[in-house]
Amino acid sequence: MATQFRRLMTAKADKQLPKDELWGRIVTLLKGQTMCTLCTCLNDVPRATPLEYYLHDASLYMVGHKGVKLENIRQNPGVSIGVYNHVHPRWGDGGNWLGVIGAQITGTARLVPDDVPEFFEAYKRFASPTSTPANPGEKPRGRIMIVTDMERVEYNDIALKLEGYASKQVWRA
């Protein structure tokens, strides 16, 4: 495995996946995970916040509570989001970089307060029991939906080189 990894790391591959195939792989990654790291910045002070999310079309939805991240987004809606899967069936237990598949997402976030219909419709889509209201008619208060429209996704998978493709692929909206 180590020899194969070294060979892949030094292999020259710059072929790009077709856009629809790349989008399919991005969707598979994003739908297979539930946690991300939302990165915001204000006045040159970065903030990284782990949040639960779900994907809908080309947007990520996260429920936020009062905190630094919301104020940062209000003043600077440009965000970066990191999502990765460390264990991939191709490589067993994921004990090295061959098992890592990740996405670095750049986008623009907007805040949807809990008193508008879009918030509750989005809130109902969360699949996790920790995010879904116990009573489907219950409207959570004091929360804000953070909706990030993805503009650029850098998809990284070293094993793409096995297929003759570059390990870093870039999708743009």
**What CATH number has the domain bearing residue 145?**
2.30.110.10
Which tens digits make up the pLDDT trace of 125-151?
Answer: 764 445 544 455 565 666 789 999 999
Which tens digits make up the pLDDT trace of 97-132?
Answer: 667 899 999 999 999 988 888 888 788 776 444 554
For the ranges 15-24, 38-47, 101-110, 159-168, the lowest mean pLDDT is seen at 159-168
Task: State the pTM of this model.
Answer: 0.83
As for how many domains the chain has, the answer is: 1
Work out the number of other CB atoms within 10 angstroms of the CB of residue 39. 19
Q: Which domain holds residue 95?
A: 2-172
For the ranges 9-23, 85-99, 126-140, the lowest mean pLDDT is seen at 126-140
| pLDDT value of position 21 | 97
Q: Which residues pair with 40 in a beta bridge?
A: 47
- Residue tagged 């509750």 (tokens): 120
Are the CB atoms for 13 and 160 separated by under 8 Å? yes
Q: What is the rounded average pLDDT of the residues 12-29?
A: 94
Mean pLDDT, rounded, of the chain: 84
> Backbone dihedral region of 81: left (phi > 0), alpha (psi from -120 to 50 degrees) or beta?
beta
Residue 168 has pLDDT above 60, yes or no: yes
